[in-house]
Amino acid sequence: MGSVEEQPADTAHGSIAHRVPDLGALELLLAVARLGSLGAAARELGITQPAASSRIRSMERQLGVALVDRSPRGSRLTDAGALVTDWAGRVVEAARAFDAGAQALRVRRDSRLRVAASMTIAEYLLPGWLLALRAGRPDTAVSLLAGNSAAVAERLLAGEADLGFVEGLTVPPGLDSAVIAHDRLIVVVAPAHPWARRRRPLPAAELASTPLILREKGSGTRQVLDTALGGLARPLIELSSTTAVKAAAVSGAGPAVLSELAVGEELGLRRLVEVPVDGVALARDLRAVWPTGHRPAGPARELLSLTRG
């Protein structure tokens, strides 16, 4: 292949990536050393012989030394080529160990999924998404941590969850988000409650002045209601789950404000009655959330895509 004029390498500045041949070139050099032929090495690696020759010449220019002498009898390493080949073997072996380690990390990541979700999403939307995820990833173990939106944010920021879902009006600090669905809160009462027989929408002022069965502060449902009423919502009872609020309303304890996702069956069976409200905005976005700068990967990314299906 001819000699290559040696040029001093600048080792004081610049990235080492510019001075060290890529793995493909090193693997080619190792194949030439093992097979004694540039053509045979090219065939083994699935490239053309001209491409292999070009890669060797490029590596020689990069290193500033001749690596291979070609003749009709085959290809022979120069003394410098033999030395570089020895180093290349160590680099390629280290790269294989690196790849195996990275693969092990991916397998470990993909073997589990920790989800944190606020109550309405956890109870009424996530079960279907998780069943769909299991169909595609039967070996992924999923754990679900249900709590209010503030608790979901805490779990994510503490590294205790891979993906979260919240229902509030704002995204908690330190998290990125994507809107996955829309929801509406409604006022519901038991059929025997006086509001069940109203012919006109309930004024916002009357809703604000009436003690209500409410979710606790920190929940997305409570945040939406407090904002809609200017922070004037009055608690009759504060409960920490959507199911508990619904049960209290069905029992006749008082009016409640719940997601329409949570009360479809009760409304259909007339166990609860929706009370129209005038002048109160109770719509909200449902969001997937994750720590800022850490886009979901593996099973978390797949679950996120299922929520948009």
For the residues 127-141, what does the mean pLDDT come to?
89
* Residues contacting residue 281 through CB under 8 Å, at least 6 positions apart: 228
Give the 3-state secondary structure of residue 164: strand
pLDDT, position 84:
92
Confidence category of residue 5, pLDDT binned at 50, 70, 90:
very low
Confidence category of residue 76, pLDDT binned at 50, 70, 90:
confident
pLDDT, position 8:
46
Tell me the C-alpha distance between 255 and 277, whole Å: 12
Confidence category of residue 245, pLDDT binned at 50, 70, 90:
very high
* Residues contacting residue 156 through CB under 8 Å, at least 6 positions apart: 116, 164, 175, 289, 290, 291
What percentage of the chain carries pLDDT values higher than 90?
60
Query: Is the predicted pLDDT of residue 276 greater than 90, yes or no?
Result: yes
Confidence category of residue 263, pLDDT binned at 50, 70, 90:
very high
> Between residues 97 and 276, which one has the greater pLDDT?
276
Confidence category of residue 275, pLDDT binned at 50, 70, 90:
very high
Q: Residue 130: what are its φ and ψ, rounded to 5°?
A: -70, -35
Tell me the C-alpha distance between 127 and 303, whole Å: 11
Query: Is the predicted pLDDT of residue 6 greater than 50, yes or no?
Result: no
pLDDT, position 19:
80
Question: Under CATH, what is the fold of the domain 16-108?
Answer: Arc Repressor Mutant, subunit A (1.10.10)
- Residue 34 CB neighbour total at 10 angstroms: 12
Q: Residue 235: what are its φ and ψ, rounded to 5°?
A: -80, 130
Query: Is the predicted pLDDT of residue 271 greater than 90, yes or no?
Result: yes
Q: Which of 101-110, 156-165, 225-234, 243-252 has the lowest mean pLDDT?
A: 101-110
* Residues contacting residue 104 through CB under 8 Å, at least 6 positions apart: none
What percentage of the chain carries pLDDT values higher than 70?
92
Q: What average pLDDT is seen over the chain? A: 88
Query: Is the predicted pLDDT of residue 7 greater than 90, yes or no?
Result: no
Question: Which CATH number, 3.30.300.20, 3.30.450.70, 3.40.190.290, 3.90.280.10, labels domain 113-307?
Answer: 3.40.190.290
pTM of the predicted protein model: 0.63
> Between residues 61 and 109, which one has the greater pLDDT?
61
Q: Which of 31-40, 106-115, 157-166, 282-291 has the lowest mean pLDDT?
A: 106-115
Confidence category of residue 14, pLDDT binned at 50, 70, 90:
low
Q: Return the domain boundaries, the chain.
A: 16-108, 113-307
pLDDT, position 100:
74
